[in-house]
Amino acid sequence: MPENCLQVLKNDKVGRYATASKDLQAGDVVFEEEPFAYGPKSGHPPMCLGCYLPVDCSYLCSKCSWPVCNAQCQENATHANNECKVFAESGAKFQTMADPTDICLQFECITPLRVLLAMEANKQRWDSEVACMQSHCEIRKSKPIWAFNQNNVVEYLRGPCKLTRFSEELIHRVCGILDVNSFEAHPSTGGYSIRCLYPNLAILSHNCVANTTHTIFQDLKVQCRTSVPLKKDQELYSSYAYTILPTLVRRAYLEESKYFLCDCLRCKDATELGTHLGTLKCSKCDNGVLISTEPLNFEAEWKCTHCDFRTKATAVRRVYEAIQMELDNVDANVEEPAEAIEARETLYRKYRSVMHPRNAYHTMLRLSLAQMYGKLDGYIIEDLPDLLLERKVELCMQILENLDVIEPGYTRTRGLILYELHAPLILIAKNLYKNAVITKEELKRKLNEAAEKLEEAVKILCLEPEYTQEGMLGRNAKPALERIKESFFDEILNADL
């Protein structure tokens, strides 16, 4: 494992937090760690307890009678050394389900149980890294989740599983720790996503503009990297929310699922640091836009920057919900490439008079469109007319304008969009030169610009593991980058135009 550049500190007001133990460059590894425990997420249909692929519950483990794919998955060490032993010894049987695609409440106990067993197996790591994690039991006691866990986890483990050595309080705390601190991972087998507990990663405070990013590898080890250069002792932040969402939605999610109200610089600023991800257009005047009068107050009024128009935050939220629903519909319907693109362009036009051009939902549409133009059948980059090449460039540039603020530096999406940007830039330059619109010098300058974008994309994407789509793109783009930098200019000049 690489050197650990994490410094854990404590402060009475915010609890534990982490800083950089030395100056770091963008993309440097801050630390790597193995999960303390991992397993199925809450609210899932049954899955193989060895590999997490969906199962029809027809094959059961010969030792514990819980669902697995086959004899091989039953031997998976995480299953065999954990719940398998407990279920086999106690005789806690899996109740077969009529519909194996339904949510399976019996699975709720698996991951908490694995955490409890990891606590016994690795007392030292539990004491130093996990016992101090936030569980927010006081707040959770008044929420429906408490009774849910009482029924499905606490009583199941202490009843049928005969694990009375774990107190009710401890089991609730473990459920809370998992709820508040888990990270989602995708097992290598391609099954359901699962939740993993990474004690160091969880120490990083949340900020709606993070300065770190992380990658979870196939073996579930996590690597945390800086996304921007950091000075020694600077605090490290990760983002627990989807950063593109507007403040009203992001903060509500954080309060609901992580039990805190974010008051970072971005949340405090009515324009979200000038990105206007939450901003709407005023319906009562031509040039005004609506922003919150008090961004940290969910109930505060929104007002126009130009006229006297005011509206309630709930009205703004309803607009977000309407477009989010339409976005989900478009995403859920698998369509022909032409339809997939047209459906998104239509939605984009439909909300143009409602949303600020840089609004989050426009940004999400742009993210899909920027990756569809140039890739989908019938829209392959070499075949795109200039008009669509320019559309792709415009989409990428507008996305980057926002990402440069909310996901600055070496972040995955920025890397992807920089990558998407280079090809249309080159093709447009080539066509302009071919049609004698630009000179040789201008061609050279435009090619350099495209090479710069690709160079940054390659740097970012190559930080991702080889077997991921991003990692592969980055590595495959290296020779193309060399060609653009070294011989492309001459190739275009010498080509039979």
Taking CB under 5 A as the criterion, the residue among 307, 315, 322, 325 binding Zn ion is 307
Cα–Cα distance for residue pair 417/394, rounded to 1 Å: 11
Least separation in angstroms between CB 206 and Zn ion: 7
Distance set, CA 423 to CA 390, 446, 462, 470, 484 (Å): 11, 12, 18, 16, 11
Least separation in angstroms between CB 66 and Zn ion: 6
Nearer to Zn ion, 50 or 112 (CB): 50
Cα–Cα distance for residue pair 446/433, rounded to 1 Å: 10
Cα–Cα distance for residue pair 55/145, rounded to 1 Å: 26
The answer to whether 270 contacts Zn ion (rule: CB under 5 A) is no
Taking CB under 5 A as the criterion, the residue among 5, 118, 185, 264 binding Zn ion is 264
Q: Which residues contact 209 (CB under 8 A, 6 or more apart)?
A: 237, 239, 243, 264, 265, 266, 273, 405, 406, 407, 408
Taking CB under 5 A as the criterion, the residue among 285, 319, 388, 405 binding Zn ion is 285
Taking CB under 5 A as the criterion, the residue among 288, 408, 465, 471 binding Zn ion is 288
Pick from 165, 204, 151, 153: nearest CA to 14:
204
Q: Which of residues 21-50 bind Zn ion (CB under 5 A)?
A: 48, 50
Backbone region of residue 118 per phi and psi (left: phi > 0; alpha: psi in -120 to 50; beta: other values): alpha
- DSSP character at residue 235: B
The answer to whether 354 contacts Zn ion (rule: CB under 5 A) is no
Nearer to Zn ion, 208 or 365 (CB): 208
Cα–Cα distance for residue pair 446/434, rounded to 1 Å: 14
The answer to whether 309 contacts Zn ion (rule: CB under 5 A) is yes
Q: Which residue type occupies 446? A: K
Taking CB under 5 A as the criterion, the residue among 63, 186, 317, 485 binding Zn ion is 63
Binding range to Zn ion, per CB under 5 A, among 132-140, 285-293, 320-328, 474-482: 285-293
Taking CB under 5 A as the criterion, the residue among 69, 119, 216, 244 binding Zn ion is 69
Least separation in angstroms between CB 97 and Zn ion: 17
Q: Which of residues 83-142 bind Zn ion (CB under 5 A)?
A: 84
Q: Residue 324 has which token pair?
A: 């989010």
Task: Mark 180-209 with x for binding to Zn ion (rule: CB under 5 A) and - for no binding.
Answer: ----------------------------x-
Nearer to Zn ion, 168 or 269 (CB): 269
Taking CB under 5 A as the criterion, the residue among 284, 317, 412, 444 binding Zn ion is 284
Cα–Cα distance for residue pair 372/493, rounded to 1 Å: 30
Q: Answer whether 271's CB lies under 8 Å from 279's CB.
A: yes
Nearer to Zn ion, 187 or 415 (CB): 187
Least separation in angstroms between CB 68 and Zn ion: 5
DSSP string, 317-374: HHHHHHHHHHHHHHHHS---HHHHHHHHHHHHHHTTTTB-TT-HHHHHHHHHHHHHTB
Least separation in angstroms between CB 269 and Zn ion: 10
Question: How buried is 495 (Cβ within 10 angstroms: 0-12 exposed, 13-18 middle, 19+ buried)?
Answer: exposed
Q: Which of residues 209-228 bind Zn ion (CB under 5 A)?
A: none
Question: How buried is 268 (Cβ within 10 angstroms: 0-12 exposed, 13-18 middle, 19+ buried)?
Answer: middle
- DSSP character at residue 468: S
Least separation in angstroms between CB 93 and Zn ion: 11
Q: Answer whether 441's CB lies under 8 Å from 410's CB.
A: no
The answer to whether 290 contacts Zn ion (rule: CB under 5 A) is no
Taking CB under 5 A as the criterion, the residue among 20, 51, 57, 118 binding Zn ion is 51
Beta partners for 481?
none
End-to-end CA distance of the chain: 53
Least separation in angstroms between CB 307 and Zn ion: 3
Nearer to Zn ion, 225 or 266 (CB): 266
Nearer to Zn ion, 304 or 403 (CB): 304
Cα–Cα distance for residue pair 388/279, rounded to 1 Å: 27
Neighbours of 143 (CB within 10 A): 12
Binding range to Zn ion, per CB under 5 A, among 54-62, 179-187, 329-337, 359-367: 54-62
Least separation in angstroms between CB 247 and Zn ion: 7
Distance set, CA 399 to CA 153, 367, 456 (Å): 43, 7, 16
Nearer to Zn ion, 248 or 323 (CB): 248
Binding range to Zn ion, per CB under 5 A, among 34-42, 92-100, 262-270, 291-299: 262-270
Size of the site for Zn ion (CB under 5 A): 21
Q: Which residue type occupies 240? A: Y
- Tokens 């060609």: give the residue: 483
Nearer to Zn ion, 47 or 119 (CB): 47
The answer to whether 249 contacts Zn ion (rule: CB under 5 A) is no
Length of the chain: 497
The answer to whether 61 contacts Zn ion (rule: CB under 5 A) is yes
Cα–Cα distance for residue pair 373/219, rounded to 1 Å: 34
Binding range to Zn ion, per CB under 5 A, among 112-120, 157-165, 309-317, 386-394: 309-317
Nearer to Zn ion, 293 or 469 (CB): 293
Least separation in angstroms between CB 273 and Zn ion: 10
Binding range to Zn ion, per CB under 5 A, among 20-28, 62-70, 348-356, 438-446: 62-70
Which residues lie near Zn ion (CB under 5 A)? 48, 50-51, 61, 63-64, 69, 73, 84, 208, 262, 264, 267, 282, 284-285, 288, 304, 306-307, 309
